Structure 1
């Protein structure tokens, strides 16, 4: 079975790596592409490849005009939810690689996916090693109560925290033990410097740094009496680490119903 793919954000940082990977895969077909910056151009020539015969659309409705099975979204935080809901309404499955969505957004997407009888797989990071960060952090949380997250990204990243940090914090908050640190509500001075409380029922404090020289990095910092454990993932300047996980999700999403969060849910 050939899976027909629409890449939303086809000329973006990850999209430029995804399009040739889709073209090269024997079981995948590039059925559509979305990019306002390159609208009207051929999806191949827009990123420096040979022509593909697929014209880049300016908006999601046009990208869905041709038959397809899965929409992969690597666009922007302010448009990803609308793209996803439109794709579900049109009978497509969706893989979300764009960060910036919150718990309420995902709840709405889950409801829409179930109503449409389609699947959505969303991950804050489709890198295999970033997925291992999450897996190892959740394992450590079984034994160490106190944990906080430090999220690093470039000075121009538009959303905070990163999708990696947010997904990790939300998952941790649902399974971690109660922290022994003084509650933020009991602090004096500038309590906001303790970061943002993310997730529940035991929220995790997340601290976001936005500085030049960083691409993406995420640390889970555990503290216990007289010892510390730091589990960290650093991303390089290439989008290549995200391609394999994203295409794995595109293959696995067909036949699912509703929202699946995290690459770890399908990795095994």
Structure 2
């Protein structure tokens, strides 16, 4: 059985690499794409790859006029929610690679997915090394009561923290709430230097040239620390295999929202 895929954000940094991956993936067919800049063209014309004959549309609603089994969302936070809801309305399952959506956004998406009997798999990161960091960190949180998270990204990344770190903080907060040594309200000096609170933990977002994407969680106990860190390079290739797996597996999940690539991995 071949799954028809619509890719929103198909000409972006991550989306274009995924489009090339879809072109050679068994059992998957890219039938439409969303990119305002290249609307009216084909992906072959937009990306210079003759294997990609899918038409490009300006909006998700237009792209979904073609029969679609799975909608892949890889655009921007300000358009992602509307795209996802449109895909669910058209009866497609959805994989979300866009970061920056809020918990309130995901609550609305979960409600819509359940109403339509479709699954949404939202992944803050499709890289296997990040998935493993999340799982290792969840195990560590069972035994170590205190941790903080550092979110690394390039200087122009607008959302802070990243979707990857939002997911990580949320997962750890469900294992247990960290135990701060000093309550934030007792901080002397500039309280903001202690970061923002997410999932009960302090999160620090670094936005500087030289970084692409990365996440670090530091666990602390008396006289010992444990540091887990994921770093991504300048290529989007590490995210392709995970995204293809998510696209293949999302329809097998129960209706509603699911967070994390590990939901379709045997970990």
TM-score exceeds 0.5: yes
Contact in 2 for aligned 1:42/1:51 (Cα 8 Å): no
CA apart distance, 1:176: 2.4
Of 259, 262, 268, the residue aligned with 2:257 is: 259
Q: Partners in 2 of 1:51 and 1:136 — Cα distance?
A: 39
Map of 1:232 onto structure 2: 229
Q: 3-state DSSP class of the match of 2:26?
A: coil
Contact in 2 for aligned 1:118/1:255 (Cα 8 Å): no
What TM-score do the two structures reach when normalised by structure 1?
0.96
Contact in 1 for aligned 2:23/2:51 (Cα 8 Å): no
Q: Partners in 1 of 2:75 and 2:42 — Cα distance?
A: 18
CA apart distance, 1:215: 0.2
Q: How does 1:113-262 map to 2 (within 5 A)?
A: 113-199=113-199, 203-256=200-253, 257-262=255-260
Map of 1:48 onto structure 2: 48
Name stretches of at least 5 consecutive residues in structure 2 with no aligned partner: none
CA apart distance, 1:51: 5.7
CA apart distance, 1:93: 0.6
Contact in 1 for aligned 2:20/2:52 (Cα 8 Å): no
Map of 1:15 onto structure 2: 15
Map of 1:112 onto structure 2: 112
CA apart distance, 1:126: 0.8
Stretches of 4+ moved more than 6 A in 1? none
Contact in 2 for aligned 1:91/1:116 (Cα 8 Å): yes
Two-structure CA RMSD over aligned residues (Å): 1.1
Q: Partners in 2 of 1:154 and 1:52 — Cα distance?
A: 29
Name stretches of at least 5 consecutive residues in structure 1 with no aligned partner: none
Q: 3-state DSSP class of the match of 2:78?
A: coil
Contact in 1 for aligned 2:19/2:52 (Cα 8 Å): no
Count of equivalent residues: 265
CA apart distance, 1:177: 4.5
Q: Which moved more, 1:169-178 or 1:119-128?
A: 169-178
Distance 1:191 1:110, change over 3 A: same
